[in-house]
């Protein structure tokens, strides 16, 4: 954002013009939410506060009753221009926020220290007030690059990103408190760099001359526990692969008829028709599982590693594999274990995922309520998924979906991105309180929405 703003100003656009664009664009959303009702705007001393004065003046001109609460005078030249342009009511502090809509413009992106004093009191007051709460750019107690909380956190109804998304809009714990998210364009040319908002993929239907092997043979290798790989297989069969085979020494009387189950694990691993492999769900963590993992990596096929495989993986094993063809799907605990194994030291989930990719070359899909995909030099962030995904087995379903997509085209980064979107859509279609089995079966109608 700073680079984009500087480039715009170097090209002749003033900072005041940018502030007016941001404030007026945000005011459009605030006016829609207010629907003629009174609005209080909380303004800080920086340019985010300046945005607030522009919002307040725009609403006042449109006929809304507006007041500004600003504990400090503007501290930047552009914010002072905005404050002078505002013709409405202003007060330094409030003991109550009685208006139906309150807009938080205390601090925007770039906050790096704890919010304290009068500003903390205002946020605490906002938190206990029954009103429609709107955060401008980012909530005022959030570090915009990390999602870390730096003061009292409010449950917002709407957050309006100005100019471009910030990483915190997609990262926990901050994003859980932001309500609905909308981006207000202000005419900046944003260089996305290493941070990219994932775009909804388009999945092509099979070609007219495709057959099951051309669409991809996925081999799922089971281990100590039969349930998890079967869940993965159920999802994989519905996510596009032409042929899904479960390699298992267990009997699976509940396996669907369409799923091929074979006890000839070694022979099936060596099948030249295999397009991709999945290992880890229900694998166990004993020497037998370790041996299978080594064999899987030695095949040097496009492969998804999940669950128990992530507790077994170590640097020596990767020497036998092709990291350009491997993707891993860890939750936060598994991600921390992998970072220990590969010597990655980092505090946040984002930095751990990036560090692990940098050290290993693996494509990393760090799953959770704030899923992060790191690979090919970029980090992709996703819209929030359904909170109903917080149930046992949904990670196995995700692994199956990703592996199925991988079998079709062999690109780990693309498979992870497609898999995450399918996973979210399946959760939406499965309706509340679903099980992992319900989720796996919802992959089929989810696929239809991406064709």
How far is Cα 74 from Cα 71, in angstroms, rounded to an integer?
10
The annotation status of 396 as a binding-site residue, yes or no, is yes
Cβ contacts of 337-340, under 8 Å, gap ≥ 24: 337/310, 337/311, 338/310, 338/313
158 in the same domain as 23: yes
Beta strands in 214-329, from DSSP E residues, in sequence order: 217-221, 243-247, 260-262, 274-279, 303-305, 326-328
The annotation status of 368 as a binding-site residue, yes or no, is yes
Of the pLDDT bands very low, low, confident and very high (cuts 50, 70, 90), residue 71 is very high
Using alpha carbons, select from 420, 402, 362 the residue that is nearest to residue 276: 402
The annotation status of 109 as a binding-site residue, yes or no, is yes
How far is Cα 346 from Cα 336, in angstroms, rounded to an integer?
9
The annotation status of 86 as a binding-site residue, yes or no, is no
Residues 6+ apart with CB under 8 A from 20: 54
Are the C-beta atoms of 440 and 238 separated by less than 8 Å? yes
Give me the mean pLDDT over the 120-139 stretch: 97
Main-chain dihedrals φ then ψ at residue 142, nearest 5 degrees: -120, 135
The annotation status of 110 as a binding-site residue, yes or no, is yes
415 in the same domain as 305: yes
How far is Cα 204 from Cα 351, in angstroms, rounded to an integer?
34
The annotation status of 349 as a binding-site residue, yes or no, is no
The annotation status of 88 as a binding-site residue, yes or no, is no
How far is Cα 139 from Cα 137, in angstroms, rounded to an integer?
7
At residue 253, does pLDDT exceed 90?
Answer: no
Of the pLDDT bands very low, low, confident and very high (cuts 50, 70, 90), residue 381 is very high
Of the pLDDT bands very low, low, confident and very high (cuts 50, 70, 90), residue 254 is confident
Q: How many CB atoms lie within 10 A of CB 275?
A: 23
* 372: DSSP letter: E
Inside any domain, residue 208: no
277 in the same domain as 141: no
Indicate the SS3 state at residue 321: coil
At residue 109, does pLDDT exceed 90?
Answer: no
Q: Kindly report the CATH number assigned to the domain that includes residue 382.
A: 3.40.1190.20
The annotation status of 50 as a binding-site residue, yes or no, is yes
Q: What is the structure's pLDDT at 192?
A: 72
Of the pLDDT bands very low, low, confident and very high (cuts 50, 70, 90), residue 252 is confident
Q: Kindly report the CATH number assigned to the domain that includes residue 100.
A: 3.40.50.10260
- Bridge partners (DSSP) of residue 216 are none
Q: What angle do CA 210, 424, 443 make, to 5 degrees?
A: 40
441 in the same domain as 311: yes
The annotation status of 51 as a binding-site residue, yes or no, is yes
The annotation status of 112 as a binding-site residue, yes or no, is yes
The annotation status of 299 as a binding-site residue, yes or no, is no
235 in the same domain as 384: yes
Indicate the SS3 state at residue 24: helix
247 in the same domain as 144: no
Beta strands in 222-356, from DSSP E residues, in sequence order: 243-247, 260-262, 274-279, 303-305, 326-328
The annotation status of 322 as a binding-site residue, yes or no, is no
The annotation status of 48 as a binding-site residue, yes or no, is yes
The annotation status of 371 as a binding-site residue, yes or no, is yes
The annotation status of 358 as a binding-site residue, yes or no, is no
The 10s digit of each residue's pLDDT in 323-370 is 999 999 999 999 999 999 999 999 999 999 999 999 999 999 999 999
Inside any domain, residue 211: no
Are the C-beta atoms of 243 and 260 separated by less than 8 Å? yes
The annotation status of 89 as a binding-site residue, yes or no, is no
At residue 30, does pLDDT exceed 90?
Answer: yes
The 10s digit of each residue's pLDDT in 269-316 is 999 999 999 999 999 999 999 999 999 999 999 999 999 999 999 999
The 10s digit of each residue's pLDDT in 160-175 is 999 999 999 999 999 9
At residue 383, does pLDDT exceed 90?
Answer: yes
Residue range(s) defining the domain that contains residue 177: 2-6+13-187
250 in the same domain as 171: no
The annotation status of 249 as a binding-site residue, yes or no, is no
Rounded CA Rg of the chain: 25
């Amino acid at each position: 954002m700073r680079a984009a703003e500087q480039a715009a100003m170097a090209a002749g656009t003033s900072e005041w013009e940018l502030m007016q664009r941001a404030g007026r664009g945000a005011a459009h959303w605030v006016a829609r939410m207010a629907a003629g009702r009174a609005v209080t705007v909380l303004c800080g001393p920086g340019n985010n506060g300046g945005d607030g004065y522009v919002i307040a003046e725009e609403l006042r001109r449109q006929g809304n009753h507006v007041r500004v609460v600003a504990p400090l005078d503007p501290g930047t030249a552009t914010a002072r221009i905005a404050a002078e342009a505002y013709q409405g009511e202003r007060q330094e502090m409030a003991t109550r926020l009685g208006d139906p809509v309150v807009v938080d413009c205390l601090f925007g992106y770039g906050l790096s220290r704890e919010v304290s004093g009068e500003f903390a009191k205002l946020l605490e007051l906002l938190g206990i007030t029954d009103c429609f709460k709107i955060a401008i750019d980012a909530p005022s107690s959030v570090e915009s690059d990390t999602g870390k909380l730096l003061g009292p956190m409010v449950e917002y109804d709407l957050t309006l990103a100005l100019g471009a998304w910030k990483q915190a809009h997609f990262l926990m714990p901050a994003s859980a408190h932001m309500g609905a998210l909308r981006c207000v364009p202000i005419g900046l040319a944003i260089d996305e760099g290493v941070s990219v908002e994932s775009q909804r993929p388009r999945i092509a239907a099979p070609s007219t001359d495709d057959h099951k092997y051309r669409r991809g043979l996925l081999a799922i290798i089971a281990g100590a526990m039969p349930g998890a790989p079967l869940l993965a297989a159920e999802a994989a069969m519905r996510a596009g692969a032409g042929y899904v085979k479960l390699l298992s020494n267990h009997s699976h009387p509940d396996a669907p008829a369409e799923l091929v189950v074979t006890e000839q694990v070694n022979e099936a691993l060596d099948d030249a028709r295999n397009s991709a492999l999945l290992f880890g769900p229900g694998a166990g963590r004993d020497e037998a599982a370790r041996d299978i993992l080594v064999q899987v990596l030695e095949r040097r096929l496009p492969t998804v590693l999940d669950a128990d495989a992530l507790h077994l993986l170590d640097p020596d094993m990767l020497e036998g594999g092709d990291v350009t063809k491997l993707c891993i799907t860890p939750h936060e605990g598994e991600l921390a274990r992998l970072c220990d194994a590969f010597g990655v030291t980092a505090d946040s989930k984002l930095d751990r995922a990036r560090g692990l990719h940098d050290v290993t070359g693996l494509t990393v899909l760090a799953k959770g309520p704030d899923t992060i995909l790191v690979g090919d030099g970029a980090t992709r962030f996703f819209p929030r998924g359904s909170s109903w995904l917080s149930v046992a087995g949904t990670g196995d379903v995700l692994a199956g979906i990703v592996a199925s997509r991988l079998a079709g085209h062999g690109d780990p980064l693309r498979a992870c991105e497609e898999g995450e979107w399918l996973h979210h859509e399946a959760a939406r279609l499965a309706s509340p309180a679903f099980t992992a089995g319900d989720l796996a079966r919802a992959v089929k109608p989810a696929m239809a929405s991406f064709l």
